[in-house]
Amino acid sequence: MTKEQKSVNWHELAKALKPRTQAFIDGKYVPAASGATFDCVNPANGLVIAQVAYCDAPDVDAAVASARKAFEGGAWSRLAPAARKKVLLRFAELIRKHREELALTETMDMGKPISDSMKIDIPAAANCIAWYAEAIDKVYDEVAPTGHESLALVTRESVGVVGAIVPWNFPLLMASWKLGPALATGNSVVLKPSEKSPLTALRIAELALEAGLPEGVLNVVPGFGYTAGEALAMHMDVDCVAFTGSTRTGKRMLEYAGKSNMKRVWLECGGKAPNVVLGDVADLERAASAAAYGIFFNQGEMCSAASRLVVHESVKDAMLEKIVAIGKTIAPGDPLDPKTRLGAIVDQVQLNTVMGFIESGKEEGAEVRLGGQRALRESGGYFVEPTVFTGVKPAMKIAREEIFGPVLSTITFSDVEEAVKIANDVSYGLTAAVWSRDITTAHRVAKRLRAGTVYVNCYDADDITVPFGGFKQSGNGRDKSLHAMDKYTELKTTWVDLS
């Protein structure tokens, strides 16, 4: 924490915060057509922060029409990549400039510690936008090797109007993972943030406009999944849906596309990551620390959470002792206190889900080694203790389903074959890790782990340059890296006869 951050009185700033609450359509803030609003609640105290426009089909229609008009008009879609770059770099700079306000908004909206919002979420969102801005005037198209009598160009063109539907766990960052590549490649976007965390998305819309993004290129429609989300995913004039959220909702996106216009559907869904610690792990201290932060960071509300510790029986006790010791130092606390490392769970519904999983673990015979209780009830907020289960069997619910809370399930194995089998035996395949001092063994295991990202002797290492996405029911396509641009472009062949 820098000096500058230490001196900020977040509670004072919170009192003065005036979030944007209306939809952003065609370059203007507007109420929902129905006039309806919904409450946006601070999960740290259960109090309403703001009433936000409750968008539904008519608002989505207006946003899509604006996005289409902007796309066809060409002020953005046909702008030279180098010119788009300048606008997006200004946009990233404005996000950086308003870092404190955006971090405060994010923390109040979804409960994550302010130090994480300041150090991770907001800078990473700005970096993502800037990275795609920098990339866009450096990618080339292709000429196919067809022979002397023809010239065959293989080019990538913007897909058109993109519906981006995003979750609440990293609200601005997940939106940026869509906005960066979608805007850089010349598309218009209608962004539907989660009803649990709509505020930063609404604020950055005007920052994008200020940066020079033409009206209608970025629209934001706050609302619920079954209203605004469904209307967007079913829309006949949306060319592509880029979704991040649960596997259950991701499957619905595929249905919507099938029932409407066969729009492209890109899915980034849930996870149940195995963190495989072999008996020859080189640095137990490091492995334990990575295991603890892999599950407790962001209150465990992470698609990539290291939620299954798959550990060799010879090192299980030593690992657990260290993880529990770390867990004891990460008590849940006021998200606006810069010292807090574990904030509030996003809302009462998610709190109930997490507590339900903890109960099911106990009922199925797993042993609670740490935590297991709701915390800080007097705050009026939704806090859960860091929780560690041991004696978990692969068939138990807490070993198979995504909990999305600070709950670790420890499963032991006796040989590497068994470890690989346990690791792969879930419907998800987003991230995984293997720890071993023998690099050959580590590579062999890494190759066999069915996941989009495998960490070797680390956990949750991250950079915008590497693709992120899942095997199996964790989704399709990839966010981040140059590969993400494939999602927002169509391949076109132009054949010129030279004979």
**Helices of type H across 111-246:** 114-116, 122-136, 171-184, 199-211, 230-233
Helices 99-110 and 81-97 cross at an angle (nearest 10°) of 70
193 CB contacts (<8 Å, ≥6 apart)?
A: 166, 168, 171, 175, 200, 201, 202, 220, 222
User: Which residues of the shown chain bind ligand NAD in the complex (CB under 6 A)?
Assistant: 165-169, 174, 192, 194-195, 224-226, 229-230, 233, 244-246, 249, 252, 268-271, 303, 402, 404, 430, 468, 470, 474-475, 479
What is the enclosing helix (H) or strand (E) of 251?
A: helix 247-259
Catalytic residue among 40, 55, 128, 303: 303
Nearer to ligand NAD, 95 or 165 (CB): 165
Closest approach, Cβ 427 to ligand NAD, in A, equals 12
Closest approach, Cβ 228 to ligand NAD, in A, equals 7
Closest approach, Cβ 34 to ligand NAD, in A, equals 17
The residue type found at 178 is K
Residue 214 DSSP one-character state: P
- Residue with structure tokens 């979030």? 19
CA distances from 413 to 312, 356, 403, 407, 459 (A): 5, 27, 22, 20, 20
Closest approach, Cβ 360 to ligand NAD, in A, equals 18
Catalytic residue list contains 40: no
Nearer to ligand NAD, 307 or 390 (CB): 307
Catalytic residue among 106, 195, 230, 268: 268
Residue 91 near residue 207, CB atoms below 8 Å: yes
The residue type found at 79 is L
- Candidates 371, 220, 391; CA nearest to 299 is 371
Question: Hey, which bits of 340-472 come out as E strands?
Answer: 367-370, 374-375, 383-384, 387-390, 407-413, 428-429, 431-435, 453-456, 471-472
Catalytic residue list contains 268: yes
Closest approach, Cβ 172 to ligand NAD, in A, equals 12
Closest approach, Cβ 463 to ligand NAD, in A, equals 15
Tokens of 219: 């629209």
Query: What amino acid positions are annotated as catalytic residues?
Result: 268, 303
